[in-house]
Structure 1
Amino acid sequence: MTRHLSSLDFMQTFSEKLEIALRNLSIAQYPPDAHRTMRKFASSEVAQLLDVTEAYIRQISLKGRGPEPEVSTSGRRLYSVEQILELRMLLAENGRKKWINPRRTEGEACQILAVTNFKGGSSKTSTTIHLGHYLALKGYRVLAIDLDPQASLTALHGSLPDFDPREGDTFYGAIRFDDPVPTASLIHKTHIAGFDVICAGLELTEFETAVALDMRKSGGTGFLLRVAQAIEQIADDYDVILMDSAPSLNFLTLSSLTAATGVLIPVPAHMLDVDSTAKFLELAGSYMQILADMGTAAQWDFAKFLITKFEPNDHPQANMMALMRQVFGGDLLLNMVIKSTAVADALTWKQSLYEVQRARFSAPKTYDRAMESINAANDEIEQLLWTAWGRQ
């Protein structure tokens, strides 16, 4: 029997068609000459971020201290992210609240957090982007590194100036064995003050081949240090570095786990996802045993599981959550991220929930529930960072 469909033609045809369609969609959302900006925050939101009262924020402004907010036609006082940071530093000078400036101090090491699970659809990228934006809005210096060749985290930032995934501008440039580039040269500033990104692209897959060739030559495990060595170059410039891993347990993921000081494993409360996570842990455990035997065991400040896409009214999910709490105990975060159309809509717009105005949603209460859920989980993760730094 003769088959008439060429696999090569099929793959190339639809690869090109889909790339063109997505590029046109991206251009429609964010034209090449467009300057992407972060939304302004109402004084009530600013007060919540700074953990002070709205009246205190107004009092500072009336005294002519701090940044001058924009006043809308309805009389609302609006602040940019840069102005919020300026306010934070002003309050830190007064010293009324400890850690109002949360940036790490002398003796506190940069926290490098790997967000990982080899089950696709577990919300790794959503978890990374929302945690990163949350921490940046809280005043931390944050770097997000996209380690997934599918580059979903990268795509969420729209068109970044001077970034071309085909010209060696991905994180692979810093971890390749031949002629690596300085990590700092790969960092891109985003439209959110305090939040930088190192992008991904298909060339990250070349790391797997390069490691295999290097192991054939040397027989060693030097590849495990590639990510750590690249991050070490720029760690002093950040408080928190987040790594969005690929949905696989490959050489790059292993190298990132070796570099990490903490690990976050997002898991939806579904049987297939939990079962996949069990296999991930089993496989990762076998690799970690090999590394330990070779004297290169990874040591972390913490490793936690996070339930994502949770539907409180779904009984099977509630039962699975109960099982996870029984098995994981204190290593499962108390807070979970609920499944929400608000998050799905925001990601479709290539934005995190923190970037979207509440008024843009047809059902603002849906936004409120999603934001409450995400903030609670992110606050719990922030407390883990504080514990690692030895803060009270």
Structure 2
Amino acid sequence: MPRSENPPQMEITSERIQRLTKELWDRLIERGAAPKFRDDRTLRSFSLGEVAEILGVSGSYLRQLSIDGLGPTPELGTAGRRSYTLRQINELRAYLASARQKEALKFCPRRREGEKLQIISVAAGSASTTTSLYLAQGLALQGYRVLAIDLDANGSLSKMFGYYFPDIIFSDHPASMYAALRYDDDRVSVRSVIQSTHFDGLDFVPGTIELFRFERQSRQRYHSEKLRYPDASIRMVDALKEVEEDYDVVVIHCGGESFLTAGAYEAATGVLMTVRPQMADIASMAMSVDYYSHSVSLIEKAGRPVNHDFTKYLVTRHNPRDVSQQEAVALLRDSLGDDLLTAAVWESGAIRQASMKNQSLYELSAGEVGRSAYEQAMETLNSTNAEVMDILSKIWGRPPMYVARASRTAGKASS
């Protein structure tokens, strides 16, 4: 393909850089090599055994339901093996909640009247992107209506969801939270920036370089008008109120941007902080906690109390055989007490392999990463999610059940 016509002689440096980058990008698009917004991503079907574990019933019971023509009709594979899509799993939930009303909460955990929306802000830290991904997808698999929001201007979580944009603002990609937070008259409803995903019950707001605009504008207001963090953060609260009735849980992935993070903290009903069990990482987390405290104090000084239902800490990328890491976990346990989750996410080659594919283990089968590594990783991930879901159950005044179920499943896998 011939190069474009000669550039204008009076072209300034920024225009030249932008033109050359656009030409390179056009050539990548022609060859199908440019990362782009993907709206054709699909989720695999789940085997009968996987569905039984997700729902907490026996495989024989599900098989009999299928034979009797009750609930959704599964796909029949080789040797009569049954499999269900996530949408069909949610249809099964609705059927079982109706047929076994005493166990309705077990099958259909969505919010009831009087139960408030839970907004979990995952602070930037070790494996915080992976944690946000697995928490949002894990909640959706358990039947919750979930909205995930990426506040990272580099779009780290967005890439895992299949949304990827270049560092140029093109007009044909979905907007980020910036569109719902901006200070001018072009501000729109948050509903207009929410995208559906390949997980039934899970929606998403991508993170793009647009978010830097909000940081820059907020910083200008901070210095010129002395409106401080509260002026920026209240916009996040107002945006999420618009969709309060549509979801059970919102998972916010915080990036390194201070004003956006302050907004995530003010909107949150709970905060989750991740830490790798190494002394340098613990020191880094301590600084993040100090910033968390500073952000909350500014909001409180503005006369708006911050009443989080919980602040929890999660150990990630843990090698339980490493003595120094064992000592680090003990230090965290002594310092944080019950605020440190009992479960920890182990260092896992299976999780790394999935991440390299910009996917999660929920989207892959065991054979794609090795069954043993897959089962071990899923055990730690599901245990972590189970603990968070039991925290939500307690806040909503429900009996805990997820940790016990995860323990039984882990026992089956170990045996």
Question: TM-score normalised to the size of structure 2?
Answer: 0.84
Structure 1 residue aligned with 2:215: 208
SS of equivalent to 1:265: strand
Matched, 1:53 2:58: yes
Alignment partner of 1:288 is 2:292: no
Q: Distance in 2 between matches of 1:208 and 1:272?
A: 28
Give the deviation of 1:159 after TM superposition.
4.8
Of 127-136 and 94-103, deviating more is: 94-103
How far residue 222 of structure 1 moved from its aligned partner, in angstroms, is 1.8
Alignment of 1:1-392 (within 5 A): 35-94=40-99, 95-99=101-105, 100-117=107-124, 119=125, 122-159=126-163, 166-167=170-171, 169-179=175-185, 180-220=187-227, 221-247=230-256, 250-361=258-369, 363-392=370-399
- Aligned partners of 1:242 and 1:33: how far apart in 2? 21
Q: How big is the shift at 1:284?
A: 2.6
In structure 2, C-alpha distance between the alignment counterparts of 1:351 and 1:33, rounded to whole Å: 13
The amino acid that maps onto 1:302 is F
The offset of 1:371, in angstroms, is 0.3
CA–CA distance in structure 2, aligned partners of residues 244 and 234 of structure 1:
18
Residues in 2 aligned to 1:27 and 1:136: alpha-carbon distance in whole angstroms? 32
Hey, what's the Cα distance between the residues in 2 that align with 1:16 and 1:339?
38
Unaligned runs of 5+ in 1: 1-7
Which AA in structure 1 matches 2:114? Answer: G
Change (3 A) 1:287 1:156: closer
Q: CA deviation at 1:91?
A: 0.2
What is the rounded CA distance, in whole Å, between the counterparts of 1:287 and 1:171 in structure 2? 20
Are the counterparts in 2 of residues 267 and 274 from structure 1 also a CA contact under 8 Å?
Answer: yes
Q: Secondary structure at 1:144's aligned position in 2?
A: strand
Distance 1:336 1:259 in 2: 26
3-state DSSP of counterpart to 1:336? strand
In the other structure, the counterpart of 2:7 is: none
Answer yes or no: is the 8 Å Cα contact 1:258–1:297 preserved in 2. Answer: no
- Residue type matched to 1:153 in 2? L
Q: CA RMSD in A?
A: 2.6
Given that residues 163 and 206 in structure 2 are in contact (C-alpha distance below 8 angstroms), is that contact kept between their aligned partners in structure 1?
Answer: no
Is the contact between residue 311 and residue 317 of structure 1 (CA under 8 Å) also seen in structure 2?
A: yes
**Please, what TM-score do these two structures have when normalized by structure 1?**
0.89
In 2, distance between residues paired with 1:165 and 1:366? 40
How far apart, CA to CA, are the structure 2 residues paired with 1:28 and 1:216? 43
Give the CA deviation at 1:27.
5.4
Q: Would the aligned equivalents of 1:30 and 1:158 in 2 still touch at CA under 8 Å?
A: no
Q: Which residue of 1 aligns with 2:9?
A: none
Deviation at 1:16, TM superposition (A): 5.2
Question: Does the CA contact (< 8 Å) of 1:116 and 1:247 recur in 2?
Answer: no
Contact kept, 8 Å, 2:279 with 2:328, in 1: the verdict is: yes
Figure out how many residues of one structure are paired with residues of the other and give that number: 372
Query: Counterpart of 1:193 in structure 2: which amino acid?
Result: D
* % same residue: 36
What amino acid does structure 2 have at the position aligned with 1:303?
T
Q: CA deviation at 1:288?
A: 2.6
- What letter corresponds to residue 132 of structure 2 in structure 1? T
Q: Which runs of 4+ in 1 moved over 3 A?
A: 26-34, 164-168, 215-218
- SS in structure 2 at match of 1:307: strand
* Structure 1 position 259, deviation (Å): 0.5
Amino acid at match of 1:336: A
Q: CA, structure 1 residues 260+32, in 2 after alignment: closer, same or farther (shift >3 Å)?
A: closer
Deviates more, 1:64-73 or 1:373-382: 64-73
Q: C-alpha deviations, 1:6-49, integer Å up to 9, x for none? A: xx99xx69x959x969x78x956999888321011011111111
C-alpha distance in 2 between matches for 1:27 and 1:339: 34
Closer, same or farther: CA 32–214 of 1 in aligned 2, 3 Å: closer
**Residues 1:330 and 1:358: Cα distance change in structure 2 (over 3 Å):** same
Partner SS, residue 251 of structure 1 = helix
Does the C-alpha gap of structure 1 residues 31 and 70 become closer, same or farther in structure 2, counting only changes over 3 Å? farther
Shift of 1:157: 2.2
